Each structure stands twice: as C-alpha cells, then as structure tokens.
C-alpha cells in the first residue's frame, strides 16, 4: 500500500539501545528489564510495573492475580479488542457486557449497575482509542458494590483523566506495546499497580510461577512464560524517552485530519477529551447513520484499492463466533456498539504522516463518499 495504516517510529536511538543489549551478557531478566519497569512506573505514578510479552498477557495475569475464576462475572465493554473479554474467559469466568456511550465509545457508566449480580467480581474498563473511561464513576460504583477495578489501558499510554495518568486508576492496569501503539517494544505490555500482592503474583506468574525460598527459587503457583526480554525493554526505554514528543506528533496529525474532515458531510469525527488528555492511538472516524455497514465496507474497499491503508475498529466482541456459540449473543443485544461498529473507519495514522499524505487520504475518502452518493442517487 502507498500509505500504510500504521508505522512504528524507530530512530538511531532505538537501534543503538537494542544493539547495546545484544552486546551485553543479559538478554532476558537483566538490568534493562528492571530499568524499563522502574521508568514506566515513575512515569505513570504507580509503585509497581511488571513487563510482560503482550497487553493480552498482562490482562490475563491481572485477572488471575485478583483470583477471578469459574462462576465469577466481570463487567466489561463489547466494543474493544477481543483480549478485553478473552482474558476473563481464560480463567473460566463470564464476561458481562455493558453497551457504550456513542459519543466516547467507552462503556456507558449509567448502565453498569443494572448488570451487577451476586456473581460479579470486577469491572474491567477500557480506554478506547486512547480516551480515558469515566474512571471516577466506575470506581464509585465498584466501591459501592465491593468490586475490583481492572484498567485496560492498552491503547492509552500518556492519556490523562482529572490530573492522573491512564494506568493508575484500578487495582491494576495494563498497557500494550504492539507496533501500532503510541510507543512500541515490538511486542510487549506492562502491568501497573500500587498493590504489593498483585505485583508479587504477576511477577511470579509471568515467569512460570517461580518464587524465592531460603534455599533458592521454587515454583509456588501455576505460571506462564510471559516474560519480556531485555532486548524488547531496550527498545521500550528508548521509545519512552521520546514519548511526549511522539504524543505531540500524533496530536498534530489528528488536528490535521480534523481540520480537513470537518466539512465533509457524512463523516463523524472523534470528539475532544472533556476531562484530561486524549492519547491518540488510532484515528477512527465513523460514517453517519444514513450509511449502512455495506456502505462502510464499500468505502474500505475503495480506499484500499487506491493504496490507502484503512480498517474497522472494532468488531463487536459479542458477535464473534466463540461468544455467539458459548453465550448465545445475537445482533441487537448491544445496539449502540453495533451501530457504531458498523460505521467505523480507521484511517492511516502514525507520527511521520505528512500533510500531503493526509490530504491524499481525505481526498480519497471524499471521493468514495461521492461515489456512494451516486449509487444511492443523491
């Protein structure tokens, strides 16, 4: 494709940092891992950071560390990446979905309490597209019902809500560092928490369940190989040192899109953050309700044929085959999620996207909408 959907921002600094680890004796479980964890914990303002090999692994370990299991229920959103619900199912608990606020695309906090039952153990909120959920409302509900709060901030490093950074609101939170994110470690993630017990459990479980005794390491619990190597952490440290610069670049690209798209009829732009800072992970617009899912798919095909990377964010979790088969979900269960998901369109978005590339994307989108108008006889 001429303009990719995403592209990581890798400089000489990252290459040198990785090479330095490759030339050292410590490729895994070494000092660079410790430095990365300490640096990101300080950045977020939490006591503990536990690096893992993906955001998905991080969410899974948080669920296990909070002792959520068979028969338990966890409230979450159907409008997210599949891992937000899979991590619950991996421990044989049941995800209970609550529909979204159509403006923010985050969970509609006014609908959470009616979904709480005697089996509810936690609320897993998601900072969708880098926009913080209404954490104060979620935490108030959780306190009232004595529930744990899990923060899926895999798309939201650097986002802020009421003066606090994403990743600092729940019993534990998690960032993801896949290459399309604000910063990357290639593959990777990190768990964030102020709780000593959660941190200890997650550190043990990411490394096969090892713990320490007077006679050396012993396996104290069932664990996994969810480690993140020092090589990945070196890349992450270099990225973290440039994070604020990269967030500013992404905000500038988002502003470019907003200025050029605001007058195109039928395109709904992402709203600004109301109580903090939006950390731009992806740039997702949606088509207005006059358009159908088939119309959106037609636009996707047209843009891709023109060499412009684009995608849909997100596919409703409850309509994925495994969820339909296991829980009997069907179309119509969460109407706002479905209405939004049918019309979302992720446009190319990365730090180095140029003005001319933005113009090409916007012109291409405008052309596809005009073609749709011709098809509909507008």
The catalytic residues are 181
CA atoms of 72 and 142, how far apart (whole Å): 15
Q: In DSSP terms, which residues pair with 216 in a beta bridge?
A: 213
Closest Cα partner for 26 from 192, 232, 236? 232
Which residue's structure tokens are 């006889």?
Answer: 377
Question: Using a CB cutoff of 8 Å and minimum separation of 24, what contacts does 108-114 make?
Answer: 108/336, 109/133, 109/134, 109/137, 109/138, 109/141, 112/75, 112/138, 112/141, 113/141, 113/145
**Angle between the N-to-C axes of helices 230-241 and 12-22, in degrees from 0 to 180, rounded to the nearest 10:** 150
**Angle between the N-to-C axes of helices 230-241 and 31-44, in degrees from 0 to 180, rounded to the nearest 10:** 40
Ramachandran quadrant class, 45 (left: phi over 0; alpha: psi -120 to 50; beta: rest):
left
What backbone phi and psi angles, to 5 degrees, belong to 155?
-105, 15
Question: Using a CB cutoff of 8 Å and minimum separation of 24, what contacts does 200-203 make?
Answer: 201/61, 201/64, 201/65, 202/50, 202/52, 202/58, 202/61, 202/62, 202/65, 202/172, 203/50
- Max distance between CA atoms of the chain, in angstroms, equals 79
Tokens found for residue 45: 């303002």
Q: What share of the chain is helix, strand, coil (3-state, %, to 5)?
A: 40, 20, 40
């Amino acid at each position: 494709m001429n303009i990719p959907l995403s592209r990581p921002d890798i400089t000489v600094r990252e290459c040198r940092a990785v090479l330095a680890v490759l030339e050292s004796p410590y490729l895994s479980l070494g000092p660079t891992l410790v430095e990365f964890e300490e640096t990101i914990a300080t950045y977020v303002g939490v006591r503990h950071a536990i690096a893992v090999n993906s955001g998905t692994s991080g969410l899974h370990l948080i669920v296990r560390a909070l002792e959520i299991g068979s028969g338990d229920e966890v409230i979450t959103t159907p409008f997210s990446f599949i891992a937000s619900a899979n991590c619950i199912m991996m421990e044989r608990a049941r995800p209970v979905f609550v529909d979204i606020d159509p403006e923010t695309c985050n969970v509609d906090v006014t609908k959470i309490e009616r979904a709480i039952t005697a089996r509810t153990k936690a609320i897993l909120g998601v900072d969708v597209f880098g926009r913080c959920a209404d954490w104060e409302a979620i935490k108030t509900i959780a306190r009232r019902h004595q529930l744990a709060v899990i923060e899926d901030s895999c798309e939201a490093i650097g986002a802020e809500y009421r003066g606090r950074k994403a990743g600092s609101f729940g019993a534990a939170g998690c960032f993801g560092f896949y290459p399309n994110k604000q910063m990357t470690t290639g593959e990777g993630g990190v768990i964030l928490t102020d709780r000593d017990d959660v941190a200890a459990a997650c550190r043990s479980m990411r490394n096969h369940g090892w713990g320490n005794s007077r006679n050396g390491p012993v396996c104290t619990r069932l664990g996994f190989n969810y480690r993140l190597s020092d090589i990945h952490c070196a890349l992450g440290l270099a990225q973290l040192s440039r994070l604020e610069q990269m967030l500013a670049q992404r905000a500038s690209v988002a502003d470019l899109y907003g200025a050029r798209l605001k007058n195109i009829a039928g395109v709904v732009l992402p709203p600004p953050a109301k109580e903090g800072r939006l950390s731009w992970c992806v740039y997702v617009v949606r088509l207005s309700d006059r358009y159908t899912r088939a119309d959106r798919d037609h636009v996707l095909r047209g843009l891709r044929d023109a060499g412009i990377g684009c995608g849909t964010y997100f596919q409703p979790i409850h309509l994925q085959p495994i969820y339909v088969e296991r829980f009997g979900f069907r179309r119509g269960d969460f109407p706002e999620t479905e209405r939004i998901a049918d019309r979302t369109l992720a446009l190319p978005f990365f730090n180095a996207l140029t003005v001319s590339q933005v113009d090409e994307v916007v012109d291409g989108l405008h052309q596809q909408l005009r073609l749709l108008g011709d098809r509909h006889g507008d």
